[in-house]
Structure 1
Amino acid sequence: MRYLLPLLLLLSALTTTVLLPGCEPKEDLVTTDSGARLEFSLDTVKFDTVFVATGTVTKRLWVYNRNARAVRVAEISLQSRPAVTYSLLINGDAVASARNVEIRGKDSLLVLVRATVDPTPADGKPFLVEDNLRFVTNGNEQAVKVLSYGQNAYFHDGETITVNTVWKADKPHVVYNSVLVNPGITLTITAGARIYSHFGSFLVVKGRLLCNPDYQPKGPIKPTDPNIVRFQGDRREAEYAERPGQWGGIEFDLGSQGNVLRYTEIKNSTLGLYLYNPFDEQPRPQVRIDNVELRNISTLNSGYGFDGAALLSLCGDLAVSNTLISNCEQYAVYATQSSQVQLDYCTIANYSLGTRDQPSVLVSPEAPFVAINKRPLPVVAPRLFAVRNSIIWGSVRSGEELEFVAGEQYVGNISIRNSLLKTKRYDNTGALGQQKNGNILNPDEFTASIFKSTPSRPRLPQPNFELDTLSPASNRALPLPGLSTDLLNRPRNPTTPDIGAYERVNP
């Protein structure tokens, strides 16, 4: 009997341990709380230069359970795209997806993500393939972005350029998380370079940008000329080819001077060229633009809180010639505060993809926003808005493509000559009226066609803003010194050239 009591106590303790769940370690108990969430070591699993050089590479992603109790992840999965094959390694198993994976409390899970891609795809393949790695826990869905570049390129990820640098044309350049050119530094982009920027990324110039500075065509060129420098978004699929708002744009800040862009195409951004000097300080940003095309510009759905433009200047200086601006969702040219803008032989053909209420050209002493960090922005009269031998046209609902805010206060700083304008507000002979200086106002677009083909009058498969045979802009310009060729380097009539970026070519 003396051994019976200790034996009973031992059996009782063992039974209690087995039967009572409360004695199970807390970190092994699985919570069903819908508020339980995971944390991740990365918000983006990114495959870049190593990836395209080797074809296959593996990246690590740590998944953390910060909860006291265990969680059961109902699903870990991603959907592979045709250009990229993804696979996962979870708990030692190579899988396309996994279900009911438990992570103990205060513990972690290592997920290996492997991507395989053709390192030398055809030019039509996308640079960028995005996917989401999904985690579903107690009804909560979380995702980590998977980002893969499918072609060999120079990758500029959040880069700050601190020495004079040349971007060559031997491989494409991909901008991710923006690029900054430091003060006093020059970035030179050579003929034929291709720059592809990720969503929201800018090229920010505090120093100097020389874009295609040395290219000298020997004769007329085509719009597809391989020596043209081209900026666009990094999505290469066909549906993104002409979609606005895919990347930020090129910004020139206070002190950025001597900038030159020649034989360049900028498309599909939220802002085209942005001169940013909102407090009217010195030295002012200065940019010269020759033989450039800007199209498909829009800040719609960008979250910026202000309307964008192909050329947006806050107290900056712009000299623009032989340039085409087309298909902007808001303004083509937006010159604010003390900006100084000169347009020579330019064509603004602003046929937006949607309904547009903003005029193509807006000049105002006020900035698009009233303050920065509660510091009010100055209201300053524009120094100069001068237009010669140019077209300002488009599809705005009001029919008014030109507006000077409080223009009577700086009328002496406005000069428009030998240009074709769509404006009823300024069709009189008053101080701001433009029925003078050789200007052509409001021709009937359908009885006297201005361009070869437009979205509202599509006579070719694609818009073509060269002058139609009987365009009212033909032979109505005055020769300008130093501008004897057009956007495509074709010779202009030496005595009676055409208005706009293109000199009409006789069949």
Structure 2
Amino acid sequence: MRTLFLFLAILLLSCISSCRSDFETVPSSGDLFFSRDTVYLDTVFRNIGSSTYQLKVYNKSKKDISIPTIQFKNGLHSKYRMSVDGMSGTNGRIFSNVTLLAKDSLFIFIETTADVSDADPKSFLYTDKILFDTGPNQQVVDLVTLIKDAIFLYPSKNADGSKETITIEDKNIEGFYLNENDPENGNELIFTKQKPYVIYGYASVPEHKTVQFQAGTRVYFHANSGIYVGKNATLQINGFVSTTEFLEHEVIFEGDRLESNYDEIAGQWGKIWLGKGSLNNSINHLTLKNATEGLYIQNTNKTITLIKNTQIYNCVNYGILAENAKIKGSNIVINNSGKANLFCSFGGNYEFTHCTFNNNWNNYNQVAVSISNLKENTSNDGNDLIEAAFNNCIIYSTYADALRLDKAANVTFNYKLTNCLLKSSNKEIGADSEHYANIILNESPQFLNVTKNQLYIDRTSSAFAKGYPAYLISADILGNTRTLPPDLGAYQSRDFPEKKK
């Protein structure tokens, strides 16, 4: 009898266990799929609620799962609200143990009501994230809301759900063409200071068109985004000197991650690409930050690219990558690049006056300036370097050599540094009058604060009053009048009270 009872008990437990498998779930393993990775909500004015936006979440596995938590990164303090498959959770902001059946999906509906004071004061964007689970299984969907008028520029979606692309050098890249008669944004070829811009993908300038950035324009780029200027197209950046710390007349390009801990993080977006055949490009008073490459300038149809009063900081590869280009630059400051601040590659024709190139990137192989008549990543494809002239410049680095020269045989390689402060281990410089004149070798420029991109100098700097007057640019990058003899680099020297503290 006892044996029969034990058998029946085991059989009953087995049946119960078998029945429970029909409704038991397993924890989510971080393999959710989403209808979009970022939810963009329309412009929200002061304390007026937004429309409702939809996010669809998919479980493509063969198992019923339980998502331990779905919540906003800002938790109960978020200005967003959501419902998850009709559930309101805790104040519409935190949800626990949400079941999602195998091969099924759930809907999340998102709204916001926010004040202008909730937004970033520079970009007028309010952002948050929806966090699915925690720890290593956590997945994230970004939320972006315009609290004050702004313009989103991004690729459209094709009928099959893929995003619009443009063709650059036989490659399809996620992007779109700027439209001078866009039904919503108007003329997208004229960027103004009236609203900030947020760009997703590469914004391309159509052939025979010019894109203009007026003084005070602010442009924020998403990951892998940028601007492409192709054949017979032109870029004009028309900033001018500002009078306050807010850089009110500067044109500013940076990533769209607005949290303070992203202020100096390199590689947040792509580059400004002046492609082969673009024409008569000009840049004045641009501040560019945290790109993969700041400016990529290819052979621009033998026309000169003018770059003046421009600052480029924290680029993963190069601040300026020039490829058989023709550039005339003055009052340029480039600080911290993974490979080189300035790379003049595959020959070309270059003139830089009163520029400051400094590289403290944490990589022993990086330099401030690299000059080559070879094509990048090749060893035998040479092209004439007609000229690479550096006048009244600072070329400095953490490491022994701030200047790299890479010469191909049997092609022209003309370069000269005149009245420059240079860091180099080359012991032949003093005797090489063909390529170097009045060089201040291996003396510190004593910048104010390199980590804060403050490459200003004072009277204690070895660059003070060492310039050649014939190459004088009358005003420095900040609009200050230069004295005679001029200082080297992009900044007129000044006193720093903070140094005395």
TM exceeding 0.5: yes
Paired position in structure 2 for 1:389: 392
Which of these residues, 94, 98, 106, is aligned with residue 109 of structure 1? 106
Quote the residue 1:147 is aligned against. Answer: 143
Larger radius of gyration: 1
Percent identity reads 26
Gaps of 5+ in 2: 1-13, 156-175, 181-186, 497-501
Q: Secondary structure at the match of 1:239?
A: helix
Conserved 8 A contact 2:372-2:405: yes
Could you say which residue in structure 1 is the equivalent of 2:340?
331
Q: Per-residue deviation at 1:481?
A: 6.8
* CA distance, structure 2, for counterparts of residue 232 and residue 420 of structure 1: 30
Cα 1:410–1:322 change in 2 (3 A) is farther
Q: Is the 8 A contact 1:169 1:191 kept in 2?
A: yes
Q: Does residue 238 of structure 2 align to residue 212 of structure 1? A: yes
Residue 320 of structure 1: how far off its partner (Å): 0.7
Relative to 1, partners in 2 of residues 1:198 and 1:500: Cα closer, same or farther, differing over 3 Å?
same
Q: What is the 5 A alignment of 1:100-139?
A: 100-103=97-100, 106-120=103-117, 121=119, 123=121, 127=125, 129-134=127-132
Q: 1:466-485, aligned counterparts within 5 Å?
A: 466-480=456-470, 483-485=473-475
> Normalized against structure 2, the TM-score is what?
0.77
Determine the structure 1 residue equivalent to 2:324: 315
Q: Distance in 2 between matches of 1:179 and 1:172?
A: 15
Question: Which residue of the partner structure matches residue 7 of structure 1?
Answer: none
Shift of 1:175: 1.7
1:80 to 64, 73, 79: 73
Distance in 1 separating the partners of 2:417 and 2:471: 17
Q: TM-score, normalised by structure 1?
A: 0.76
The one-letter amino acid paired with 2:438 is: G
| Preserved contact between residue 76 and residue 135 of structure 1 (Cα < 8 Å) | yes
Indicate the SS of the match to 1:501.
coil
The one of 313, 322, 325 aligned to 1:295? 313
Tell me the distance in 2 between the aligned counterparts of 1:357 and 1:36. Answer: 38
Unpaired segments of 5 or more residues in structure 1?
Answer: 1-18, 300-307, 371-375, 457-461
Q: Which amino acid in 1 is paired with 2:403?
A: L
Name the residue aligned to 1:259.
281
CA contact (8 A) 2:27 2:66 kept: no
Q: Distance in 2 between matches of 1:35 and 1:356?
A: 40
More deviation, 75-84/284-293: 75-84
Check conservation: 1:84, 1:117, Cα contact below 8 A: no
Match for residue 496 of structure 1? 485
Q: Is 1:405 aligned with 2:406?
A: yes
The CA deviation at 1:476 is: 2.6
Matched, 1:40 2:41: no
Q: Distance in 2 between matches of 1:124 and 1:84?
A: 20
SS in 2 for 1:78: strand
Whether the 8 Å contact between 1:55 and 1:118 is mirrored in structure 2 is no
1:181 aligned onto 2:190: no
Distance 1:386 1:64, change over 3 A: same
User: Structure 1 residues 75, 284: CA separation in 2 closer, same or farther (over 3 Å shift)?
Assistant: farther
The corresponding residue for 2:177 is 160
Q: CA deviation at 1:484?
A: 2.0
Equivalent residue of 2:261, what SS?
Answer: helix
Equivalent residue letter for 1:472: S
Call closer, same or farther: CA 1:97–1:409 in 2, change over 3 Å. same
State the Cα RMSD in Å.
3.8
User: What's the secondary structure of 1:348's corresponding residue?
Assistant: strand
Summarize the Cα distance change of 1:377–1:89 in structure 2 as closer, same or farther, 3 Å threshold.
Answer: farther
Of 51, 54, 58, the residue aligned with 1:60 is 54
Structure with the larger RCO, 1 or 2 (CA within 8 Å, 6+ apart)? 1
- The Cα offsets for residues 19-76 of structure 1, whole Å up to 9 and x where unpaired, read as 999xx9x9x7767699996543323333343688944342212234556x66233435
Residue 201 of structure 2 aligns to a residue whose secondary structure is strand
Give the drift of 1:498. 2.2
Change (3 A) 1:55 1:175: farther
Q: Which amino acid aligns with 2:306?
A: R
Q: Equivalences for 1:442-453 in 2 at 5 Å?
A: 442-443=442-443, 445=444, 450-453=445-448
Q: Which amino acid aligns with 1:63?
A: V
1:71 aligns with 2:89: no
Aligned pair in 2 of structure 1 residues 480, 226: CA closer, same or farther (>3 Å)? farther
* Aligned-pair CA distance for 1:312: 0.7
Once the two structures are overlaid, the 10-residue window that deviates more, 199-208 or 471-480, is 471-480
